[in-house]
Structure 1
Amino acid sequence: MFEPSPTVGFGELSQLYRQTLQICDSLEAVADSLPRPDRKRCRQIAASLKPAIEAANRLEEQVLSPAVLSRLPDEGMQATICRLREEHAQDGAAADEIVRILVTLSRGGGRRSWEAIGYMLRAYFLAVRRHVACEQSLLASLRTISNSH
């Protein structure tokens, strides 16, 4: 019987992480450019943010989480996967707000203070970077296990 490789989808997931981190870099550039952000860049990020986050989260839950739970089955990993799944929902809700802010910026402003907008952008991309780093660490652990067998 054919058993799929435990690393199927890991390459695609790594690509999605690179894309997500590039979006974080773009968000940081927008935050650094306030109060005069590049409107075109804001539109581009607004269009790509949600689909990128959703694709990475979906693949994490389809590929990474099951692989972690089957290859590293301990209570600590189960709690970690639970926490990461909860972060997916939080990141999605935060992404909705960030997209709204970016659309407002792409149109020339808004009612929030520049400091508040900068804080929200930074809080978001720092949380996403931290999340991706954790998931990349799990991915590296799984690759190490797969290579040792």
Structure 2
Amino acid sequence: MSHSQVSRAPGRPNPAPGVMKLFPQRADPRDRRAPRIDMARIHAEKRKLCDALEAIADTLPSQVDRLECLKAAGELVPLLRECHRFEEETLFPAFLAAGGSGEVVARLKAEHVEDQGTAQELAEELFRIGHGQAVHNPEALGYLLRAFFESVRRHMAFERDHVLPATREEGEIPGRR
């Protein structure tokens, strides 16, 4: 079933289109906990990706698994794009509706932009390595990988500790029952 075929009750917002592809098992949108349930699933996928990137960094330069590089490279940009879309279209509005800070949301959105740029750079390099090319500068790549996955982990921790609790305490997402 394509995104355009997903039926929604009148007045109910459609989920972010990309999230439907990677995260088809969405929580019931009538459930006030749905954004937190979906966010837990998204964070689990991001944690798996961070773990895979850390494993690649740990094996540089001579023991790198080229198949794992290809797998991570193929998942990196689409996963982040879809996670960020969900956060920006669903989670952040709920946070703001619950009295959350616009400055916090602006900071998190800025981190999304930075992460997307770095993810694109990493994906290109991991594809190159996955296709058999040499690791030109293992120290620089290891540093970039570690800086990236640590930044993503910090971002998730902030959302878990500050954004999600605010949505839990304060009612439902606008447009949801």
Q: TM-score, normalised by structure 2?
A: 0.74
Structure 1 window deviating more from structure 2 (107-116 vs 10-19): it is: 107-116
The unaligned stretches of length 5 or more in structure 1 are none
Q: Which runs of 5+ in 2 are unaligned?
A: 1-10, 13-29, 173-177
CA–CA distance in 2 between the matches of 1:29 and 1:127? 16
**RMSD over aligned Cα atoms:** 2.1
Q: Return the alpha-carbon distance in structure 1 between the equivalents of residues 32 and 134 of structure 2.
A: 47
3-state DSSP of counterpart to 2:34:
coil
Question: Identity over the aligned pairs, expressed in percent?
Answer: 33
Distance 2:107 2:32 in 1: 22
Partner of 2:99: 72
Paired with 1:6 and 1:65, the residues of 2 have a C-alpha distance of 15
Q: Residue 92 of structure 1 aligns with which residue?
A: 116
The C-alpha deviation readout for 1:47-88, integer Å capped at 9, x for no partner, is 111111111100101111111111024xxx211100001111
Deviation for aligned residue 1:14: 1.4
Name the residue aligned to 1:57: 84
CA contact (8 A) 2:56 2:64 kept: yes
Of the three residues 164, 169, 175, the one matched with 1:139 is 164
Match of 1:30 among 33, 56, 74: 56
What is the CA–CA distance in structure 1 between the aligned matches of 2:32 and 2:109, rounded to whole Å?
A: 20
After the TM superposition, which of the residue ranges 135-144 and 52-61 deviates more from structure 2?
Answer: 135-144
Check the 8 A contact 2:49/2:72 in 1, yes or no.
Answer: yes
Counterpart residue identity of residue 43, structure 1: L
Task: State which of 45, 56, 81 in structure 2 corresponds to 1:19.
Answer: 45
Code of the residue aligned with 1:69 in structure 2: it is L
Q: State the number of aligned residues.
A: 143
